[in-house]
Structure 1
Amino acid sequence: MDEKQALEDLKIADFSWYIAGPSISMWLAHHGAQVIRIESITKPDELRGIEPFKDGIAGINRSGCYANYNSNKYGMALNLNHPKGVDVAKRIIKWADIVVENFTPGTMKRKWGLGYEEIKKFKPDIIMVSSSPLGQTGPEAQQAGFGLELVSRGGFTHFVGWPDQDVVGVGYPYTDTITPPIAVIAILAALDYRQRTGKGQYIDLSQHEVAVQHLTPAILEFTVNGREGQRCGNRHPYAAPHGVYRCAGEDRWCAISVFNDSEWEALCKVMGRNDLVIDPRFSTFLSRKRNEEELDRIIENWTMNLMAEELMNRLQEAGISAGVVQNGKDLIEDPQLEHRHHFWYLKHPEMGICAYDGPPFKLSETPGRLTMPAPCLGEHTEYVCTKILGMSDEEFIELLTDGVFE
């Protein structure tokens, strides 16, 4: 493929870690941006220690989670606590258009003198993104945190579970994945501003504030109607039936949603239970809601004898919203994802060939693509120093000997 990519001339210095920060540079890297991913051998990104590990073998370079958020990047080892390490970091920033970091607010400035006000003195048009849990200002800005905590603070945990039981929780740092696209939008806006004015700027991104926007209906319900939203399991206030139903096989399920009487009639026809259409317990939406327990029992007694894929296809053909609850194997084998070339298979130095999530959108003239697996720790340090930064071999060896690249 020889198409020029949309962000091919963009250069990014990525000082971030875990998911929320690295995902930002990854989105840009998938469309041609050149990214230097900076870590320290003495304190690597802790995401490298998160399962799953390829073939079940733990290792600093074997985390599938780390790999999936760091494709298309050069990996550089750099000890920022070494005085010469900060000097090298400044050279990378001078090379870069964008700096990405997601440490506790103030860390870049306080520990290494690399805050926005400091770096713009030697790189006036730099764009710097600081993605933090609660933003850079305010009485609680210094509170460190992770996505799983922000899921609760953002209100999501309150809504996940059954109405008569304790919260279940999301089980995933949801804010880590919804925040990066917003950061990318902000970066593109800042790039447009710089193109028009020649000036860079600082982007202060609050992951908490991104999360809150995704619960607008609950906020509106409270501010307008004074009602606090509650957990409702798999049900929906304006649909019945609405749930996830057991199917044939081990741990196989299918989600079914019926929002009006015509869909209900179609479901009854597929079930071979036209008698339910005129049954006074289920003939109207309100009656179905009143008898939802019995309704779910009747439906699951039917679905448990069918394969989930067969059930989904039959219902969809009848105009009923239905979907298999897919596991990892299902996703890899999903024909729609395969057609869209969602997964890219790249050969990693230690893990071998692995699947990576690709861009979820297609640009017709400048399609994104994955060309490099996630880097091993410090894999490209010499290349970055000598080929990108222009260091001589002698200077590189001297810094290496001094422990700058640890």
Structure 2
Amino acid sequence: MENHGAPTLPLQGVRILSVEDYLQLPWCTVILADMGAEVIRVESLARVETRTMGPYPDNRPGQRFWDQGGIHHLWNRNKRSLTLDLTKPQGVDASKRLVAISDVVAENNRAGVMERFGLDYEALRQVKPDIIMLRTTGYGQTGAWRRYGAFARTVDAVTGLSHLTGYKGGPPVRANPSYMDITAAWNNALVILMALHYRRRTGKGVFIDMSMYETGISCIGVALLEYQTSGTYPPRMGNAHRWMVPHGCYPCAGQDEWVTIAVRTEEEWKRLCQVMGRPDLLEDPRFATYEARWANQDALDALIARWTRTLDKRTVMLRLQEQGIPSASVFHAKDLLTDPHFRQRGFFERYTHPPEVEGVGTRVYTVRPYQFSRSRGSIRFIARLGEHNRPVLADLLGYSPEAIAEMELAGVIGTEPVDAERLRPRPSPPEAQVRLGSSAFWDPDYRKVLALEEQQEGGAHDAQA
């Protein structure tokens, strides 16, 4: 359900046509859609992986499971869904007619795919000379690797970030399963805004070639500087730091509960000893100086862990922060979703799905990490597959009912995936996932904890989750 009564948003009036899948481009366009851009997401009925990745309500996919997945809801909110088969002339023609009335075309297919469809930049310029086109891939549109496939995990490795991440003496470890996707997404959003500003100033369109590989390299710039200035390279250090000590992640009371502590100065070290009730450590020759603490990090970490493991992680964080010592509890999903700070900031947003999206009801979503003083984005709608086929084709492009019916009959558009039953997910029950190790824990009372009452009217939202 779309909320047309929403206040004016910063990007209202900007239309983006996005041929997207997986995270790095969908997260870019959700940033822009949240702030008012009209994003028309071109989807293929033969490729709906993002919609089938779950998680599903209580791990039970329904009849129209492709509209139920939580990842789809998170990545694709506020985007119109238009299904088009771009391998057919009717699909390509509809795309070009949309390009003629759009500001931006974005896509994240492998290099060469849009050329096969006849929708590359040179072709689109013939339709709309001032069009802005973003092509964002793993390795860019040129170079020896241009046709290589990429996921965030593989880009994490090839950029060198994995080589820097891990424990001393151990192998490389991935930094995060989607770190490179998110960093690429924010760069994509930024460069689209720069291109819109450029066109406003010059009247000219622009082609943007974005590479996840190059985005990732920018994240380890200091390591590259070290090598080219001194021939050295940072070691893998786990939770330790190259100059702060103590600096680590320490166990707390409870199962798998932790807190991080980072001490930068002698004054902070003294205050840490006072908070721990161990002023004697200031005179201990193993820890009395910075050099001594650095040489005896393992012994110091063991002493700190002996103190933290008797306390709640929030208690440790509070006591240290009150003394100006950087510290943070290690939060998991339940902690974050119930965190008072986030509630006070209105960061999480409740959204109640319409009854057509079976079994989902009210859920809590992460939204924007910024707050505009005059206009605040919100979840206005989350589109079902092909929900906007008729509105886009008829209202924006002027297709007749007969032409739309012909496209449906030819399989150019539709509202159900091709071979849907073959795609049906079959997730294990939550307790089985814990037993198999694919989930860390299962809280059968999660609905009660998060107050997820079912509501009758869909499309409602509340920023004060």
- Normalised by the shorter chain, which TM-score bucket? over 0.9
1:116 equivalent in structure 2: 121
Matched, 1:358 2:367: yes
* Contact 2:91/2:412 (<8 A) preserved: yes
* Contact 1:239/1:285 (<8 A) preserved: no
Selected match of 2:108 from 96, 102, 106: 102
**Quick one: percent identity of the two aligned structures?**
37
Residue 208 of structure 2: SS of its match in structure 1? strand
Residue 100 of structure 2: SS of its match in structure 1? helix
C-alpha distance in structure 1 between counterparts of 2:56 and 2:294, whole Å:
45
Q: Which runs of 5+ in 2 are unaligned?
A: 415-465
Return the offset for 1:230. Answer: 1.3
Selected match of 2:27 from 23, 29, 32: 23
Taking structure 2 as the reference length, what is the TM-score of the superposition?
0.84
Deviations 1:172-213 (A, max 9, x none): 121110012212221112112211222111111111111111
Deviations 1:47-72 (A, max 9, x none): 22324333212432232222211111
C-alpha distance in structure 1 between counterparts of 2:373 and 2:176, whole Å:
36
Deviations 1:101-148 (A, max 9, x none): 0000121112x1000000110111111100011111112111111111
C-alpha distance in structure 1 between counterparts of 2:55 and 2:261, whole Å:
31
2:300 equivalent in structure 1: 295
Shift in CA distance, 117/51, structure 1 to aligned 2, threshold 3 Å: same
2:342 equivalent in structure 1: 337
C-alpha distance in structure 2 between counterparts of 1:345 and 1:388, whole Å:
31
Matched, 1:49 2:58: no
* Contact 1:158/1:231 (<8 A) preserved: yes
Matched positions, count: 403
Deviations 1:335-372 (A, max 9, x none): 22222221122223232222222111122233333211
1:398 equivalent in structure 2: 406
Q: Is the deviation greater in 192-201 or in 251-260? A: 192-201
2:44 equivalent in structure 1: 40
Amino acid at match of 1:94: A
Selected match of 2:134 from 108, 112, 129: 129
Selected match of 2:17 from 13, 16, 21: 13
C-alpha distance in structure 2 between counterparts of 1:228 and 1:7, whole Å:
43
1:181 equivalent in structure 2: 186
Return the offset for 1:2. Answer: 4.8
Matched, 1:371 2:377: no
Amino acid at match of 1:136: Q
Return the offset for 1:384. Answer: 2.0
Amino acid at match of 1:333: T
Selected match of 1:155 from 151, 155, 160: 160
Residue 237 of structure 1: SS of its match in structure 2? coil
Matched, 1:168 2:176: no
1:92 equivalent in structure 2: 98
* Contact 2:99/2:127 (<8 A) preserved: no
Return the offset for 1:35. Answer: 0.9
C-alpha distance in structure 2 between counterparts of 1:53 and 1:342, whole Å:
23
Residue 16 of structure 2: SS of its match in structure 1? strand
Selected match of 1:381 from 366, 377, 389: 389
Taking structure 1 as the reference length, what is the TM-score of the superposition?
0.96
Selected match of 2:208 from 200, 203, 207: 203
C-alpha distance in structure 2 between counterparts of 1:32 and 1:378, whole Å:
21
C-alpha distance in structure 2 between counterparts of 1:208 and 1:62, whole Å:
32
Matched, 1:270 2:288: no
Matched, 1:231 2:236: yes
Matched, 1:74 2:83: no
RMSD of aligned alpha carbons: 1.4
Shift in CA distance, 309/183, structure 1 to aligned 2, threshold 3 Å: same
Return the offset for 1:251. Answer: 0.9
Q: Which runs of 5+ in 1 are unaligned?
A: none
C-alpha distance in structure 2 between counterparts of 1:311 and 1:192, whole Å:
47
* Contact 2:153/2:174 (<8 A) preserved: no
